[in-house]
Structure 1
Amino acid sequence: MDLKLELQKKADLIEDSLEKYLPKENSPQKHIFDAMRYSIFAGGKRLRPILMLAACDFVGGNIDDVLPFACAIEMIHTYSLIHDDLPAMDNDDYRRGKPTNHKVYGEGIAILAGDALLNYAFELMIRAISKNHKNLERKVLAMKEIAEASGIYGMIAGQVVDLLSENKKIDGTKLDFIHNHKTAALIIAPIRAGAILSGASKEELEALTVFAKNIGLGFQIRDDILDIIGDEKKLGKKVGSDTENQKSTYPSVYGLDASKKKVDELFNKSVKAIEHFGSRSEFFIQLSNYLVKREY
C-alpha cells in the first residue's frame, strides 16, 4: 500500500465534502461563513476524518454514511484550534503557516467562528440522521461518541486542566490526563465512531479502541517533541512556544530521550492491538508509524 496516495485520496474526499457542506451564500451573516471557511481550508492534514474513513474501510462499512460525521469531527477540531489560538488561551499568531483566525477577523468573530463550527457540526450529523433513518442506533451512538470526546469529559476537560496548569510544575499523572483528554480524545472518537457507524463487531471495536488510545497519546507526545526539535517551516508555526509559555510537556517532565522511547512504545502497542486482523490492519499500521515519526 502507498500510504501517501491513500492519505491523499481520503483527504481529497473530505475536502470535497467540506466544500459541499460549508455554507458560502451571500447573506447578512456572510462574514461568519468566510471566517469558518478560512480556518477549515487553511491546510489541515484532515487526520481525524481520515481516521474515521479508515475505520469504516477496516470494518467494511458504507463511506457515504460516514462522510457527514467525518466532516463534523473536522469542524469540531477546527473550532478547538481557533479558540486555542486566542489571546486568552495560547495566544498564537500563526496556524499552519497562516495568520490565525483572530489575526484576520478579530477576536469577536474568531470566537463566533469557533462557536459556529461546533454548532454546525452537530447540525450536519443531525441532518444526516434525519435524512436517512437506516441504522439509526448506530448513528446516534456515533454522535454520542463525538459529543462526549469533544465535551467536558473529553477535549474540554483536557483544555481546562492544561490552562490551570500553566506556569506550574505538574506530575506525569496530570500530564497524561491533559494529553489523553485534550488531544487523544479526538483521535479515539473518529475511529470508534467510524467503526460503530459501519457495524463493527465487539472484537473489532475493542481492538480499534486500544489502537486509537495508543496513537492518540503518541501523536501528542510527538507534538511535544516537535515543539523542541521541529522545523518551523515544516510545522507552519513557531517552535518553543511550550517552553516560552511554561507549559508542562512530556520532554519537560520526563526528558527528550525518554519521550522518544515512550512514542516508540506506544507505536508498538498500537500495532499489537490490530495486527492479528492481517491485511485489514495495513493502513492503520503504516499510519501509526508515520504519525509517531512525523516531522510536522
Structure 2
Amino acid sequence: MKADDFDLWMRQELHTVELALQRWVPLEAPAGLGQAMRYGVLDGGKRLRPLLVLAACEAVAGLKCAALRAAVAVELIHAYSLVHDDMPCMDNDVLRRGKPTVHVQHGEAQAMLAGDAMQALAFEVLTPDAAASASAGEPPLPDGLQARLCRLLSRAAGHAGMAGGQAIDLASVGRPLDEAALCDMHRRKTGALLQASVMMGAACGEPDDRALAGLSDYGAAIGLAFQVVDDILDCTQASETLGKTAGKDLDHNKPTYVSVLGLEPARAYADALRDEAQAALARSGLRDAARLSLLADRVVERHH
C-alpha cells in the first residue's frame, strides 16, 4: 500500500471516529458533566486505538458498524484513564493533548465524574438495543458480539490490565525495577488496551485460529513498542511537541525503558518490537493486513 493511500485512509477514519464521538458523547449531561466529558475526549490525541480496531476489522472483513462502536468505546476508556491519571492524586499533570488537563479546566470533582461517565459510556456504546441501532442507521448488533467486545475491553481495562498496570506504576515511584518487571507493568498499563483494540476489531469478523493468534501477537508487540517509544520521546522531545509535559517521568523518579536500558538500547528494543509485530502479521495468513503493518511502522517511526 502506498503511503499516500494509507494517509488518506487514516484521515477518513479519524474523521469518522471524531464524528461518532461527537454524536455519542452527550453535551446535555447534567451540571456541566457533558462539557467536561467532551473536553476530555474530543479534538485531540493520536486515536491509535480506534485505528487499530478499524484496521483489524478490515483485515478480517468484519462488520464495520460494530468496529466503529468498538473504536469509540476503546477511545473513551483511554480518555477516561488519562483524565484520572492526570489528577493530583496520581500523576498531578497540567497539560494533555496540548491543552490544560480536565481537572485544571473543570475542577477535580468534575474530572473524576467525567472519567467515571466516559468509562460507563464505553460499555453503553458497545451494547445498543434495537432502537439505538436503528436510530444510528445500523443493523442490530448480535448479542454474542456485544458480549465478546465487552469482555475484551473490560479485561484490558481492569485489574489485570490498564488499572493494574497503573497501580504498579504508582507503587514503583522511586523504586528500581528490572527489565522484566518494567515489561510486566507496561504490558498491563499500556499494552493491554492496545492489544485489545486489535482483538476487538478481529472480533467483528470471523478469523480462524491462525489469524487470531497472529493478531494477538501483533497487538502485544505493538502495545509494548508504543510505550517504549513514549519513554524515549519523554526524554528527547519538548512539551510543545508532545502536547503533554515532557520529562515528567524523570522528575517523578519513575522507572522507564530509557532509565532501565539506556536511550540507544531502548531505541533498538522499539525497532525489534516493530519487527516482532510484522512477523506476527506474516504468520497470521491474513491477505489484507497492510494497514496494520503500516500502523506498526508509524508507531515506532516516532522516535527516529
Alignment partner, residue 233 of structure 1: 240
Task: Report the Cα distance in structure 2 between the residues aligned to 1:273 and 1:194, rounded to whole angstroms.
Answer: 16
CA contact (8 A) 1:139 1:197 kept: no
Runs of 5+ in structure 2 lacking a partner? 134-138
Aligned in 2, Cα 1:153/1:210: closer, same or farther, shift over 3 Å? Answer: same
Q: Give me the whole-angstrom Cα distance separating, in 1, the residues matched to 2:79 and 2:199.
A: 20
Structure 1 unpaired stretches of 5+: none
Aligned to 1:144: 151
Please say if residues 102 and 110 of structure 1, whose CA atoms lie closer than 8 Å, have aligned partners that are also in contact: yes
Which residue pairs with 1:111 in the alignment?
112
Aligned residue for 1:55?
Answer: 56
Are residue 271 (structure 1) and residue 274 (structure 2) matched? Answer: no
- Distance apart, 1:236 and its partner CA: 1.0
In the other structure, the counterpart of 1:92 is 93
Q: 1:152-163 residue pairs with structure 2 within 5 A?
A: 152-163=159-170
What is the SS of the residue equivalent to 2:280? helix
- The 5 Å alignment of 1:275-286 reads 275=282, 277=285, 280-286=288-294
Alpha-carbon distance in 1 for matches of 2:215, 2:178:
29
Instruction: Please report how far the alpha carbon of residue 295 of structure 1 lies from its aligned counterpart in structure 2 after TM superposition.
Output: 5.2
Which residue in the other structure is 2:136 paired with?
A: none
Give 1:181's aligned residue. 188
Could you tell me how far apart the structure 1 residues matched to 2:195 and 2:85 are? Answer: 20
Distance in 2 between the 1:268 and 1:230 partners?
24
Q: Secondary structure at the match of 1:239?
A: coil
Match of 2:218 in 1: 211
Residue 205 of structure 1 and its aligned partner are, at CA, apart by: 1.1
**Is the counterpart of residue 14 in structure 1 residue 22 in structure 2?**
no
Rounded to whole Å, the distance in 2 between the matches of 1:18 and 1:259 is 35
CA distance 1:36–1:134, change in 2 (3 Å): closer
Instruction: Please report how far the alpha carbon of residue 139 of structure 1 lies from its aligned counterpart in structure 2 after TM superposition.
Output: 2.6
Contact 1:234 1:295 in 2 (8 A): no
**Higher mean C-alpha deviation, range 199-208 or range 239-248:** 199-208
CA distance in 1, matches of 2:174, 2:107: 27
Offset, 1:278: 6.7
Q: Is the 8 A contact 2:177 2:255 kept in 1?
A: yes
Question: Residue by residue, what CA displacement relative to the aligned partner does 1:174-215 show, whole Å, maximum 9, x if unpaired?
Answer: 111111000000100011011012222211111111111101
Partner of 1:243: 250
TM-score by length of 2: 0.92
How many residue pairs align between the two structures? 294
Displacement of 1:43 in angstroms is 0.9
Alpha-carbon distance in 1 for matches of 2:224, 2:81: 18
- How far apart in 2 are the matches of 1:128 and 1:248? 45
The residue that corresponds to 1:199 in the other structure is 206
Q: CA deviation at 1:134?
A: 5.3
Which of 197, 210, 226 matches 1:190? 197
Quote how far apart the aligned CAs of 1:66 are.
1.7
Q: Which amino acid aligns with 1:281?
A: A
Q: Is contact 1:230–1:295 with CA below 8 Å preserved after alignment?
A: no
Task: Say whether the 8 Å CA contact 2:152–2:200 is kept in structure 1.
Answer: yes
Give the Cα separation in 2 of the matches to 1:63 and 1:22: 20
Cα displacement (A) at 1:102: 0.3
What RMSD in Å do the two structures reach over aligned CA positions? Answer: 1.8
Aligned partners of 1:295 and 1:153: how far apart in 2?
Answer: 29
Deviations 1:88-132 (A, max 9, x none): 111111001100000011101000100010011112212258856
Amino acid at match of 2:301: K
